[in-house]
Structures are given as structure tokens and as C-alpha cells.
Amino acid sequence: MIQDIAPKKLDNQYKPDAVPKDDSVMFCFRGKDVLVRQDEGKLFPTFAQLGHPHDCVYLFTIGKKSFFLLLGHEEPPIPAGFAFEPVRSIRSSKEAKLPSFYAFYTALHLSGWYRANRFCGACGQPTELDTKERALRCPHCGNIIYPRINPAVIVGVLHDGKILVTKYARSYDVPFFALIAGFTEIGETLEETVEREVMEETGLHVKNIRYYKSQPWGSAADILAGFYCDLDGSPEIHMDKQELSRALWAGPEEVILQPDDWSLTNEMMQRFKEGKPC
């Protein structure tokens, strides 16, 4: 999965005084597009390739490589061999190695946070980078804004040697399956989210809810918590057609996995498919 980049490790301690080196990786977003190479080689531009821009902020380090974000107040000249592409295409169309893809998803999360908080939500004044921690500070009223992380669940519902698989309504034409998923509401435990999301999307009741593993998922600013559980009651599915295009019970041989193994959803389905404890 995305976080499984060993022996490399993410060092996300904020370093406000960090200065980019020529080979530091730069993420440059423009709306829902990101700047990438158009030929073979490194996926994202370096500090030198972008002409040493000034308007950038330190993100994190993976291994010995540091990563920075161009804040986007002034777009640099686009170097030869690079172009902006939709962020949604990176996972499917680019031969990114796992650490690079992990870095991209984490940078996407932080980029959205910086962009959405250029102004203070309390008084409307422009915010500034904090000098000590990963935060934005309002110099007018003192409001401090920290990066937002949205808790969500992935649910593998089991019954009679089968698992409940789905396809989202917006992805009805994809050949592979997904699992029940949803965001945690205010005042709700993760286990209550599991029960509610399964009921809302399929009309099923569950029991024996057990935690499996978590995963950051930067495209939606999520922290995903994976759970397995057992059906409680009737297996008849009453699908929410606004959320899903398909929902069915599938045996191991019927589960169609995703084309890559970077998601928690895919790992949980693969675990069931291989007959491992769930």
C-alpha cells in the first residue's frame, strides 16, 4: 500500500528554514492539474529545472530526498519536456514508483490545505506561514489553522464464504471492484461509521466489527481505517443507487482486483481472495 515504502521512511517534521537543493523535488499544482515530465525519467520537476523559484514551502523528506511545494502565487516558466496533467491521471497513466506516488498523494493533500486557507476563516484576513510548526497563522486575529485530516472507513463485509463488493455510481464502467466506504460524521465512532455506511449503501446489518489496518489517502485528505465484519441478519441487498452502481456477494474466485496494489481497499479484497484471516 501507499505507506509501505520501506526501507525508505517519511520524515514529515516541519522544517521552516529548509532550503531546496538543485535536486529537490518540486510539486507544482494548477487547479486540478500537476506538472509532470512527458518522457522517460523522473516524474516531477526538480528545483533546478524550475529555475530556482522563490515561492515554495518545505513539505517532507523521503529517504535522502527532500520535497517542496510551489505555493502557486506566481507560476514559473514551464521547462521543456514538462506539461500540466490532471492529478487523477497520475495513478493510471504514469509509471511512478511507490515512494514517488506516496509523495505525490501527500503533497496533493497539503497543497489543497494551503490553497483553501490563504485567508482566515475567522476574520477574513490573509494568513501567513507559521515559523515553528506546520500551520497557517492569521496576523490580524491570531487564529491558527492546522492541516485537516478526514477520518473514513473501508469495510469488508463477510458472509457464508463471500465478501460484499461494490462499484461506485460514478465508476460504473470500471472492470474492478471496491468495498463499502464512507466518512465519519461528527460525534460518531469508527465502528458506528461502519454500521451506518453499510446500512445506508446496502441495507445490511453487521456485527463482530474488527479493525484491520489504516492508510493515508491524500487525494481526499483522508486517513482510512479498514475494518472487516460479519453479516447480521438477512443477506438481501437493498442498494443505494445514488451511491453505487453494483453491490453483490462475491466468492474468492469472483473478486476482481484493482490494477495496482496501492490501496487499502485492494489489499483487503486480495487478503480475502487468498483465503487469509479477515
CATH number, domain containing residue 218 = 3.90.79.10
The per-residue b/e assignment along 100-128, b for 16 or more CB within 10 angstroms, e otherwise, is bbbbbbbbbbbbbbbeebeebeeeeeebe
Let me know if 67 is exposed, middle or buried by CB neighbors in 10 A (0-12, 13-18, 19+).
Answer: buried
Residues paired with 221 in a beta bridge? none
Note the helical H segments in 130-213.
190-202
Residues 154 and 260 in one domain: yes
Phi, psi of 65 (to 5 degrees): -100, 130
- Reported as a single tens digit per residue, the pLDDT across 202-231 is 999 999 999 999 999 999 999 999 999 999
Assigned domain for 2 exists: no
pLDDT for res 97? 81
Domain ranges, residue 74 = 10-108
Q: Which of 126, 147, 168 is the last residue of a domain?
A: 147
Distance CA(50)–CA(81), nearest Å, equals 12
126-131 contacts at long range (C-beta below 8 A, 24 or more positions apart): 129/16, 129/57, 130/16, 131/16
Distance CA(191)–CA(148), nearest Å, equals 21
All residue ranges of the chain with pLDDT < 70 are 40-42, 73, 93-95
pLDDT for res 40? 65
pLDDT for res 270? 97
Residues 155 and 258 in one domain: yes
| Single-letter code of the amino acid located at 242 | Q
How is residue 129 written as a grid cell?
Answer: 506561514
pLDDT for res 15? 93
How many domains is the chain built from?
Answer: 3
pLDDT for res 193? 98
